[in-house]
Amino acid sequence: MRDLGRVIGRARVAGPVGVLKDPIVFGERTFTEGCHLEVSGLARFREGLVLRDRVPRLSVFPDPATWSVRMRRASLTLPPGDASLVRTELEPLLVSYREAAEGYRWEPTLA
């Protein structure tokens, strides 16, 4: 299942955005800029909040048919009402970083 738009944690920006010494690669996307984050809660692997199911209730996605295109941006600012909805529904899914982080580690398989 692609394009779930899963929110997996709560964090605060803890420093300025800058150019990364070594770009970060996720799949086919490369990120050359980044910042420090203070993670204050993390959902267990594959247990985060699925945005796809909430698109009709989120004003940041004016056209539900194309919502996933907006999610491909490096960042997406949520209006206050949307942020409140996401925060409220994400909160019960969060545990400490220490409890959840290991589930996100894996070794790639070689072809």
- The predicted-structure confidence for 38-83, as pLDDT tens digits, reads as follows 999 999 999 999 999 999 999 998 888 888 887 777 677 889 999 9
Query: What distance in Å separates the CA atoms of residue 48 and residue 100, rounded to the nearest whole number?
Result: 11
Instruction: Please indicate, yes or no, if residue 92 is contained in any of the structural domains.
Output: yes
Instruction: Please indicate, yes or no, if residue 18 is contained in any of the structural domains.
Output: yes
Residue range of the domain that includes 77 = 6-100
Diameter over CA atoms, the chain = 46
Instruction: Please indicate, yes or no, if residue 21 is contained in any of the structural domains.
Output: yes
Instruction: Please indicate, yes or no, if residue 64 is contained in any of the structural domains.
Output: yes
Amino acid sitting at position 102: E
Instruction: Please indicate, yes or no, if residue 51 is contained in any of the structural domains.
Output: yes
Instruction: Please indicate, yes or no, if residue 108 is contained in any of the structural domains.
Output: no
Looking at the structure of the chain, the number of domains it has is: 1
Percent of the chain's residues with pLDDT above 90: 62
Percent of the chain's residues with pLDDT above 70: 93
